[in-house]
Amino acid sequence: MALSTHRTTTALLRHLTPAISYLRHISTDSTSTITVETSVPFTGHKIDPPSRSVDTTAQELMSFFRDMALMRRMEIAADSLYKAKLIRGFCHLYDGQEAVAVGMEAAITRKDCIITAYRDHCIFLGRGGTLLESFSELMGRKDGCSKGKGGSMHFYKKEGGFYGGHGIVGAQIPLGCGLAFAQKYKNDENVTFTLYGDGAANQGQLFEALNMAALWDLPAILVCENNHYGMGTAEWRAAKSPAYYKRGDYVPGLKVDGMDALAVKQACRFAKEHALTNGPIILEMDTYRYHGHSMSDPGSTYRTRDEISGVRQERDPIERVRKLLLAYDIANEKELKDIEKEARKQVDEAIAKAKESPLPEPSELFTNVYVKGYGVESFGADRKEIRAALP
C-alpha cells in the first residue's frame, strides 16, 4: 500500500526531522488535496456506497486532530469534575466517539441542523459551542449555554444549528424529522442530521418518523451511533436484527466505520447529496465509547476491560489521525504533543473560569417558562422567600 512505503521513508527521515522541519514535505496549512483510503469499505443497503478514497487536506487533518484532542480532553475533565461532585445528575461522556462529531462537521455547514440525544457535549463543541459554555452548563452556572437550567442532557446552540440535547431516548427522532420538514417547507437546500443510538433504534417512533420522512421525501439523515451497548445491554441482546442500517427497509442505508473521521466525512457528504434529491437515508456509525453509559455506570460489568483497551489500541480515532499526520509528514510528534498540551491548557482555563461563574439568580426559576414572561411579581413555592420581578 502506498501508505506503508511512505511511512518507512518518513521513519528514516525522522532522525533528521528537527533539523529539516522547515523543509517539510507538506506544511500544516496546505490545502492541496491528499487522498486517503478508508481502512474499512462502506456497506450499502439499497444504495451504491460511496468510494473508499476520501479527499482531504493537511489543514483539515490538523483541524480534526485539534478538535478531537479538545473533545477528548473535555470529556476526561468532565469525568474528574463529576467525581469531585461539581457536576451532578447524569453525565454521558462521548470519548471514543469523537470521529463522528468532527467528520460530520467537516461535511456540512452551520445552516444544516443536527439534533441528538443526551451524549451531546462534543457535538455541541463541534457546532460552535465554547468550552466555557459547556463547563458552566455542566456545573449549573449562569454562563452555561442553557443558563444552567438544562444540564448535561440539554445543550443547545441555536446560531450553530444545534437543536439539542434530549433526555428521553428516541424522542429526538420525530423532532429531527420536524426540522427536516421545516427545511423542505422553506425550500432552503439544507439537511438535518438526526442522531440516535443503537438502544433507541428499537423505538417505535423511529419507524414512524422514517415512514413519514420517506413518504414526503424530507431531507432527513438518520444517523445511528452504534456503540454496541444500550446502557448495559449489548446490541445482540436487544435487537433481533443488529444491522441498523438495514432496518429502514425501503429507506437506503450505509454502514460506516465510525472511528475513522474521514470515512464519516465521506459518508455524511454522500448522505447530504442523497437527502437533498432523494429523501431520507440511514447512516450507521460503527463506533465505541470508552466510558460507561454514564458516570454512574462503571462500564465494565457488561464488557471486559480487554475489549475496551483493545478498541483503544486498534481503532482510537485520535490515534488514526495522528498516524496519518505523521505518515504524511504534516506534523511531527512534538507538534502533536504540543497541540494536546494546548488542548489541556484550554480546558483547564475554561474550567477555572466556569467555576467562577455564578449560580443562576433565584428569579431565573420563573423565567423562560413562557415566552412572554409573567409580567408580574411572582412568589416561589413557599410563598415567602423567593420573589421574582419577571421580565
- In the complex with other proteins, the residue whose CB is nearer, 28 or 211, is 211
Q: Are 26 and 35 in contact (CB under 8 A)?
A: no
- In the complex with other proteins, the residue whose CB is nearer, 165 or 199, is 165
Asked if 20 interacts with other proteins (CB under 8 A), we say: no
Mutual angle of helices 317-327 and 2-13, in 10-degree steps: 70
- In the complex with other proteins, the residue whose CB is nearer, 175 or 343, is 175
> How far apart are the two ends of the chain, measured CA to CA in Å?
65
Cβ 267 to other proteins, closest distance in Å? 23
Cβ 112 to other proteins, closest distance in Å? 12
Stretch that binds other proteins, among 4-12, 40-48, 162-170, 313-321 (CB under 8 A): 162-170
Burial 195-206 (b: 16+ CB within 10 A, else e): bbbbbbbbbebb
Asked if 378 interacts with other proteins (CB under 8 A), we say: yes
Asked if 384 interacts with other proteins (CB under 8 A), we say: no
Strands 253-257 and 281-286: parallel
The residue within the footprint of other proteins, chosen from 126, 165, 252, 258 (CB under 8 A), is: 165
Asked if 374 interacts with other proteins (CB under 8 A), we say: yes
Asked if 245 interacts with other proteins (CB under 8 A), we say: no
Alpha-carbon Rg for the chain, nearest whole angstrom, is: 22
Stretch that binds other proteins, among 29-37, 50-58, 180-188, 277-285 (CB under 8 A): 180-188
The residue within the footprint of other proteins, chosen from 166, 255, 269, 322 (CB under 8 A), is: 166
- In the complex with other proteins, the residue whose CB is nearer, 49 or 170, is 170
How many Cα atoms within 13 Å fall on the side-chain side of residue 94? 30
Q: Using CA atoms, how far apart are residues 88 and 125, in angstroms rounded to an integer? A: 20
The residue within the footprint of other proteins, chosen from 7, 52, 110, 147 (CB under 8 A), is: 147
DSSP-assigned beta bridge partners for residue 56: 34
Site string for other proteins, 90-119 (x = CB under 8 A): -----------------------x-x----
Helix (H, G, I), strand (E, B) or coil at 249: coil
Cβ 272 to other proteins, closest distance in Å? 18
Asked if 149 interacts with other proteins (CB under 8 A), we say: yes
- In the complex with other proteins, the residue whose CB is nearer, 166 or 246, is 166
Residues 274-303 that bind other proteins (CB under 8 A): none
Nearest to 225 by CA among 198, 191, 265, 257: 198
3-state secondary structure 276-338: HHHCCEEEEEECCCCCCCCCCCCCCCCCCHHHHHHHHHHHCHHHHHHHHHHHCCCCCHHHHHH
Nearest to 97 by CA among 63, 128, 120: 120
Stretch that binds other proteins, among 14-22, 37-45, 64-72, 210-218 (CB under 8 A): 210-218
DSSP-assigned beta bridge partners for residue 197: 225
Residues of the shown chain interacting with other proteins in the complex, contacts defined by CB under 8 A: 113, 115, 144-151, 154, 156-158, 163-168, 171, 173-179, 181-185, 204-205, 208-209, 211-212, 215-216, 366-379, 383
